[in-house]
């Protein structure tokens, strides 16, 4: 069967990764969560004192970038690949609200983006890949056969993220999560390098009032049309 590239972009907490994982599993494709890569670089920057709430040492972070080794390793028990930073599994650490608060600052740095985009293009060179992020259909794979742009209201997205964090035992307030969602929307759509924009040829999926199953059904039908 024909192999294609599926690019999924959209605002934070729109369920991009859930959909991308479902599609990859169904099609036997590789799934790549590019947000995890930006989160892992952010964790590295935090651990080395390059970024905090009121400070960003861009220069030294950029100098250190060659030391940042990112790798995805498939975990058969979970059914998806986990993020490793310099050999350590950082899957749990990169999902905390602390990392979420700082990641947009790090993702604004062009040198960081250039390094990660190159790795992403390398991972997708043989197609049969589902990649999610903010610039996949516009920058990483502008020729992707299928581009999906996902959106939902900030409140719906904050509620989803809040429920996830509570489930993981993290003590957070809904107000903080909503504020973080709105701040990241602003920074992601206003940065100079590769801002989050809908590719002209993307299919828009607003899942504010769709269940995961309904959404999967809708998108799978679109995918099937592309595979014939
Ligand atoms: O998808 P996520 O929420 O885990 O992404 C974390 C952050 O990384 C998000 O605020 C913006 C940034 N990001 C990006 O700039 N480009 C991507 N391709 C993926 C994520």
Structure confidence by residue, pLDDT tens digits, 99-112: 999 999 999 999 99
Alpha-carbon gap, residue 2 to 15, rounded angstroms = 26
Q: What CATH number has the domain bearing residue 95?
A: 3.40.50.300
Residues 10-15 have a mean pLDDT of 92
Whole-number Å distance, alpha carbon 134 to ligand 1 midpoint, is: 6
Domain that holds residue 192: 5-227
Residue 35 CA, ligand 1 centroid: distance in Å: 4
Q: Separation of 103 CA from ligand 1 center, angstroms?
A: 7
Cβ atoms of 137 and 144 within 8 Å: the answer is: yes
Whether residue 1 has pLDDT greater than 90:
no
Ligand 1 pocket, 94 CB below 6 A? no
Q: Is the CB of 120 under 6 A from ligand 1?
A: no
pLDDT of residue 105: 94
Across the range 59-71, mean pLDDT stands at 98
Q: What is the pLDDT of residues 113-170, one digit of tens each?
A: 999 999 999 999 999 999 999 999 999 999 999 999 999 999 999 999 999 999 999 9
Whether residue 79 has pLDDT greater than 90: no
Is 134 close to ligand 1, i.e. is its CB under 6 Å away?
yes
| Beta carbons of 132 and 9 less than 8 angstroms apart | yes
State the pLDDT at residue 228: 87
Q: Which tens digits make up the pLDDT trace of 84-100? A: 999 999 999 999 999 99
Are the CB atoms for 228 and 5 separated by under 8 Å?
A: no
Distance CA 128, CA 6 (A): 8
Contact between 63 and 117 under an 8 Å Cβ cutoff? The reply is: no
pLDDT of residue 5: 98
Q: What percentage of the chain reaches a pLDDT higher than 90?
A: 93
pLDDT over 70 percentage in the chain: 100
What is residue 66's DSSP assignment? G
The whole-number average pLDDT for the span 50-69 is 97
| Average pLDDT estimate for 182-187 | 94
Locus of tokens 């999902």: 95
Work out how many domains the chain is built from and give that number: 1
Buried (b) or exposed (e) across 148-181, using 16+ Cβ within 10 A? bbbbbebebbbbbbbeebeeeeeebeeeebbebb
Report how far residue 193's alpha carbon sits from residue 110's, in angstroms, rounded to the nearest whole number.
6
User: Which is nearest to 189 in space by CA: 159, 221, 217, 154?
Assistant: 154
């Amino acid at each position: 069967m024909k192999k294609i590239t599926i690019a999924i972009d959209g605002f934070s907490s729109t369920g991009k990764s859930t959909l991308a994982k479902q599609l990859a599993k169904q099609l036997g494709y590789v799934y790549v969560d590019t947000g995890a890569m930006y989160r892992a670089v952010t964790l590295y920057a935090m651990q080395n004192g390059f970024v905090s709430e009121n400070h960003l040492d861009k220069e030294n972070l950029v100098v250190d970038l060659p030391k940042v080794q990112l790798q995805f390793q498939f975990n058969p028990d979970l059914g998806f690949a986990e993020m490793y930073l310099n050999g350590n599994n950082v899957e749990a650490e990169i999902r905390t609200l602390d990392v979420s608060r700082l990641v947009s600052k790090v993702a604004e740095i062009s040198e960081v983006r250039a390094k990660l985009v190159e790795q992403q293009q390398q991972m997708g060179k043989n197609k049969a890949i589902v990649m999610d992020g903010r610039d996949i259909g516009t920058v990483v794979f502008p020729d992707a056969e299928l581009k999906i742009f996902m959106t939902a209201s900030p409140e719906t997205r904050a509620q989803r993220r809040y429920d996830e964090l509570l489930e993981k035992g993290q003590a957070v307030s809904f107000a903080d999560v909503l504020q973080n969602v709105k701040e990241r929307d602003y920074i992601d759509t206003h940065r100079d390098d590769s801002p989050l924009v809908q590719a002209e040829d993307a299919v828009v999926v607003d899942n504010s009032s769709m269940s995961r199953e309904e959404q999967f059904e809708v998108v799978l039908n679109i995918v099937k049309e592309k595979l014939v």
